[in-house]
Chain A
């Protein structure tokens, strides 16, 4: 029954849809190498933080958010309260709300279940690649856009989970002296640096970093919460100041 449905689904894919899917996949190949490396590192990091292999696989499949996982691991390791883990996960994932707000016009015509599945597959690279191709297009909600997006997201999901699970089970073969857990910190760094493009963003980085450094010995890793509040405030104030400067110069 299910097999018949799957078969029917694959036979119903038109050649135009296939072409759009492959076009998306082509754009995604290089970033997918980075995704694979990062997934492997995250897999290792989960086991190193004390998760059993089963729990680590469960986390990979259910959470599917590398930066939230890597953020949560030091918190879990230090036994931070669950609400703080949840709050930290929400904050790190907040970018997905912004992605969702930007992507929603393209996919609002889909049924709710399809939209639910599609949005659970959204990734950073998926968003960046899709928007750099269709961000300025006048027609939104085309079938081509959907299949192009799927061509990035579906392989991304497969590569991430496969590499992560390989990391969970094979990571133990990597000697301790290689300090591979440092690669997890570097992976977070690799997400932050491209995001810091404007002056207010630099200000946010400096303030959040300084506050996090000074408050790192606070109990329950509350320093993180303080750093986020300070960083967001610095960014918003910096933005206001920058736009006032601009007005002064151009006005």
Chain B
């Protein structure tokens, strides 16, 4: 029963995300002649993706905790390494590869040292 409900939930989520893709990708291309966006709205919209992505990333990297050992964790450090790599190379691929390698190295060191 539970898994049946879960599947409908999943399917609903996928369909709604498909609708998201359709609405955002196609609406302006298809009907843009009829809906000019004001400059104010356009500039505000520029910030939404960054805010949303950061809003997802930060809780994945840094748990809310009074314990500083959890705040400065290997994932957060690896992410910092990844960002520095991007700023040096401007290659998005290095963010993924560099961040992963950094995480493995940090975890390995932690296992060896402690």
Q: Tell me the A residues contacting B by CB distance below 8 Å.
A: 31, 33-34, 37-38, 41, 51-52, 55, 58-59, 62-65, 67-72, 74, 76, 79, 82, 85-86, 88-101, 103-104, 107-108, 112, 115-116, 118-120, 122, 178-180, 182-183, 185-196, 200-201, 204-205, 207-209, 211-214, 216-217, 223-224, 227-228, 230-232, 234-236, 239
Given contacts A90-B20, A98-B45, contact A104 B29 (CB under 8 A): yes
Contacts of A38 in B (CB 8 A): 96
Set A31, A119, A189: member contacting B99, Cβ < 8 A: A189
Distance A108 CA – B30 CA, assembled complex (angstroms): 8
Answer whether residue B69 sits at the interface, using C-beta atoms and an 8 A cutoff.
no
Contacts of B63 in A (CB 8 A): 216
Task: Please state if A208 and B25 are interface contacts (CB–CB under 8 Å).
Answer: no
Task: Please state if B62 and A122 are interface contacts (CB–CB under 8 Å).
Answer: no
Contacts of A86 in B (CB 8 A): 16-17, 19-20
Answer whether residue B67 sits at the interface, using C-beta atoms and an 8 A cutoff.
no
Q: Which 3 A-B pairs have the closest CB atoms?
A: A231-B51, A100-B28, A235-B47
The residue on A at minimum CB distance from B15 is A62
Contact code string B31-66 (vs A, CB < 8 Å = 1, else 0)? 011000100001111111111111111111111100
Query: B27: shortest Cβ distance to chain A, in Å?
Result: 7
Task: Please state if A93 and B21 are interface contacts (CB–CB under 8 Å).
Answer: yes
Task: Please state if B55 and A186 are interface contacts (CB–CB under 8 Å).
Answer: no
Set A94, A97, A188, A194: member contacting B56, Cβ < 8 A: A188
